[in-house]
Amino acid sequence: MADDIASSPSVRPPSSRRTVLQGMAAGMVSAAATVPHGVDAAPVPMAADTAVNPETRYPRPPFPRQSQPWPGLAGKMVPRPDHGEGTYRGSGRLAGRKALITGGDSGIGRAAAIAYAREGADVAIAYLPQEEPDAQDVMALIRAAGRKAIAIPGDLRDEQYCKDLVAKAHAELGGLDILVSNAGRQVHQASIVDITTEQFDETFRTNVYALFFLARAAVPLMPPGGAIIATASVNAFSPSEILLDYSATKGAIVALVKSLAKQMVHKGIRVNAVAPGPFWTALQVSGGQTQDHIHQFGAETPMGRAGQPAELAPVYVLLASAEASYITGQVYAASGGTGVG
């Protein structure tokens, strides 16, 4: 999966506003091309001042119908998602920072991990043992950026694992000032009568309880200037009829983030959330969507396509960086033009 690894980022902060803007642009640009089925989604890197057409930047549906056993592997998806492996360019915006990212093996968490490393941060990722192949790819990418990489597999539904995860990340990274609670559980069901108590409980424990457990353990360890970032969803604001329990958890995450942000202001810790629309991740092909939805995934947006994880990486970088010092208690939506969020 690590087909094109970028060179290590500079660890010096940019010396001017122009340099900052150039670095941000470099991290977000890529070739404007529709990628055919079966070909990696990662586009060819382009110069920092190259404009791209967002409609045609990445693959558009229809996609092949496909499914994987939960939790799924990004490396087996067609087309393969772009996490920024060959496109993200850092500029030292997170130099010296220490980050823990859940679900860091694939999807949005993987994109954040790659970007954080290339921005100069050391990174620990949490993931399920079944996701080891994807996790090892990410470890290699973080180390290729010249940063420390820590892999801590386990199940976020387990309160003790969450406590141990934070403690181990803090110890092995030599500190902790960024927490990204990103891992999620999503299982589609046509009706409330089809949602078992077990599924409902697993979805809430993965999406909401884990955020609570992790934040509670991390806050005493985080210095002023720290950042907590949760992954919510546009389903918090416009719930899908087939994602009742998932949508409910995302609404809970938004409320938790806004409340916690107020608590943390005087500790100097900012708390925000990102609310993605349809993004092409393993979550979708491992029970998160019906086969018909997979086939036309993202087609309902005005942009006519799904988002790629690499397109959210700059948002997670911004919310973790000192540049966002006046941003807390906010929810940043990215939904392909729907206006939801």
**Residues annotated as part of the active site:** 246
Neighbouring C-beta atoms of residue 14, cutoff 10 Å: 16
Distance CA 168, CA 151 (A): 10
Distance CA 172, CA 235 (A): 35
The angle, 0 to 180 degrees and rounded to 10, between the axes of the packed helices 159-173 and 210-218 is: 40
Distance CA 19, CA 93 (A): 11
Distance CA 284, CA 64 (A): 13
CB 101 within 8 A of CB 116: yes
Q: Tokens for 55?
A: 């409609």
DSSP strand pairing (227-231 vs 122-127): unpaired
CB 334 within 8 A of CB 301: no
Beta bridge partners of 48: none
Beta bridge partners of 228: 179, 271
